[in-house]
């Protein structure tokens, strides 16, 4: 007997595209909600352009690897919402759903005639989560963002890098990932509130604004102490403090050293290990693991103040040792001795070499109709009574159109066929996939 799911009987109308919105609904699907992704191939963004299609497959709407990982646990309805008939179908779907979620720029649903007031007329207790770049409120609501722009404008980019160099920033759309997670958090919060009070609401999430509180300690250092982040030695790379600059806290936790990334054997691109000592005890244990070298016995390294003063020399000495070990061997030796150390892990490392992620079944295979058996990123939590899991591969575009239009909404088979010939359910001039011909029989 299968276990109950946390969001059993919850239906989500998912207008989202690209990454942040789909990353939100992926999690609602993992909790067991029925997520219906509304797509239109003429202005689809998420499946194409694809840089993650396997080398042996044609790039098309159904072969993006990243789309597959981002859109598991969903069904796909191909629907032209910009047509009167398409809008009517969307409204009938909303009438039997619990959550509407989208990440368009701020006025798109309004233009469609689907703003919150209209949604309420269709479904009075609807939970509506909008995930636009700058939100629906505020003078810059019409600004657009992708992760890197939200990260730049919010201060997140600036906090990452080496002092005196350009910002290194985040090497991906952290705020598409995290903005997406906020989308799911908001939807669940709104749903809980609805279950307790009977009231729905509009939750106006902004990707850019959601980034700002993630700089909390730096912001309070400014609003309380008047100290800005534009200062010598900041940001301090991987260190808690940059040598030769004023000694202030840099929002990385305790101001200590060693606190850095060190090269490991054999010195290739991702052969690095980070080591952090939070106390004198941890430092002394590291000295022992390193074989108690004579340099480490110098009184200048005996105290945290001394180590911070001589950090550059300390880091060079530690790296001379770390270069003699592979990053996993170094990690095991340090952790066995009670020292904080972990390897820098590439994607390959995480999928193939990380024993913890393997034990926790972080990457389980699923069969996808176009991509075959592929590992998919699992959930980072285990719920004892309602386990969350990936239970559907990402949908082919329009794969569930018949199931939803006929099965859920009660349209006739003739209506379905008409929708394919009048451009409501698939563009008239676009070639149909074989599974569409199948559903039109």
Catalytic residues: 176
For Cα atoms 72, 77, 81, give the angle at the middle one, nearest 5 degrees.
130
Q: Which is nearer to other proteins, 32 or 419 (CB)?
A: 32
| Cβ atoms < 10 Å from Cβ of 349 | 15
**Least gap, CB of 84 to other proteins (angstroms):** 28
H or E element that contains 288: helix 280-289
**Least gap, CB of 91 to other proteins (angstroms):** 21
**Least gap, CB of 26 to other proteins (angstroms):** 10
Tokens of 66: 């990243």
**Least gap, CB of 417 to other proteins (angstroms):** 35
User: Strands 74-78 and 34-39: what pairing?
Assistant: parallel
CB 22 within 8 A of CB 5: no
CA distance linking residue 361 with residue 318, whole number of Å: 34
β partners of residue 342? 274
Q: Which residues of 2-39 are buried (b: 16+ CB within 10 A; e: fewer)?
A: eeebbbeebbbbbbbbbbbbbbbbbbbbbbbbbbbbbb
CA distance linking residue 44 with residue 65, whole number of Å: 16
Q: Which is nearer to other proteins, 167 or 243 (CB)?
A: 167
CB 415 within 8 A of CB 92: no
**Least gap, CB of 201 to other proteins (angstroms):** 3
**Least gap, CB of 130 to other proteins (angstroms):** 9
CB 364 within 8 A of CB 374: no
H or E element that contains 99: strand 99-102
Q: Which is nearer to other proteins, 346 or 421 (CB)?
A: 346
Q: Which is nearer to other proteins, 140 or 280 (CB)?
A: 140
CA distance linking residue 355 with residue 361, whole number of Å: 10
Q: What is the dihedral of CA 66, 71, 73, 76, to 10 degrees?
A: -130
CB 97 within 8 A of CB 127: no
Sign of the dihedral through C-alpha 226, 232, 236, 240: negative
User: What DSSP character marks residue 284?
Assistant: H
**Least gap, CB of 230 to other proteins (angstroms):** 5
Q: Which is nearer to other proteins, 227 or 309 (CB)?
A: 227
Q: Which is nearer to other proteins, 39 or 176 (CB)?
A: 176
Place of tokens 């270069």: 323
């Amino acid at each position: 007997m299968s276990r109950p799911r946390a969001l059993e009987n919850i239906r989500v109308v998912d207008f989202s595209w690209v990454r942040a919105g789909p990353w939100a609904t992926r999690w609602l699907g993992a909790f067991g909600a029925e997520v219906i992704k509304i797509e239109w191939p003429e202005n689809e963004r998420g499946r194409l352009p694809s840089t993650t299609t396997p080398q042996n497959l044609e790039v098309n709407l159904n072969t993006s690897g990243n789309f597959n990982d981002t859109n598991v646990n969903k069904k796909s309805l191909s629907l032209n919402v910009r047509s009167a008939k398409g809008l009517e179908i969307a409204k009938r779907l909303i009438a039997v759903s619990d959550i509407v979620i989208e990440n368009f720029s701020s006025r798109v649903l309004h233009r469609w005639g689907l703003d919150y007031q209209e949604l309420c007329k269709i479904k009075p207790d609807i939970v509506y989560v909008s995930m636009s770049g700058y939100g629906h409120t505020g003078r810059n609501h019409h600004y657009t963002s992708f992760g890197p722009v939200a990260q730049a404008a919010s201060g997140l980019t600036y906090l990452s890098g080496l002092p005196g160099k350009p910002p290194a920033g985040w090497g991906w759309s952290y705020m598409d990932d995290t903005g997406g997670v906020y989308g799911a958090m908001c939807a669940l919060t709104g749903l809980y509130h609805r279950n307790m009070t009977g009231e729905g609401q509009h939750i106006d999430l902004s990707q850019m604004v959601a980034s700002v509180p993630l700089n909390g300690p730096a912001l309070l250092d400014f609003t309380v102490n008047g100290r800005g982040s534009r200062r010598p030695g900041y940001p301090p790379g991987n260190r808690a403090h940059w040598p030769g600059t004023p000694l202030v806290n840099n929002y990385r936790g305790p101001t200590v050293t060693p606190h850095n990334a060190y090269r490991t054997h054999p010195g290739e691109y991702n052969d690095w290990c980070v080591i952090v000592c939070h106390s004198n005890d941890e430092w002394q244990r590291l000295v022992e693991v390193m074989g108690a070298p004579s340099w480490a016995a110098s009184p200048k390294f005996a105290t945290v103040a001394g180590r911070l003063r001589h950090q550059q020399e300390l880091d060079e000495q530690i790296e001379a040792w770390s270069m003699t070990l592979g990053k996993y061997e170094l990690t095991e030796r340090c952790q066995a001795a009670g020292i904080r150390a972990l390897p820098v892990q590439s994607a390959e490392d995480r999928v193939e070499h990380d024993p913890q992620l393997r034990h926790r079944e972080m990457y389980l295979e699923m069969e996808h109709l176009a991509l075959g058996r592929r590992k998919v990123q699992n959930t980072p939590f285990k719920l004892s009574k309602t386990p969350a899991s990936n239970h559907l591969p990402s949908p082919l575009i329009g794969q569930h159109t018949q199931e939803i239009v006929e099965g859920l909404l009660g349209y006739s088979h003739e209506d379905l066929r008409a929708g394919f010939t009048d451009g409501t359910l698939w563009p008239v001039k676009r070639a149909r996939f074989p599974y569409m011909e199948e559903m039109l029989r």
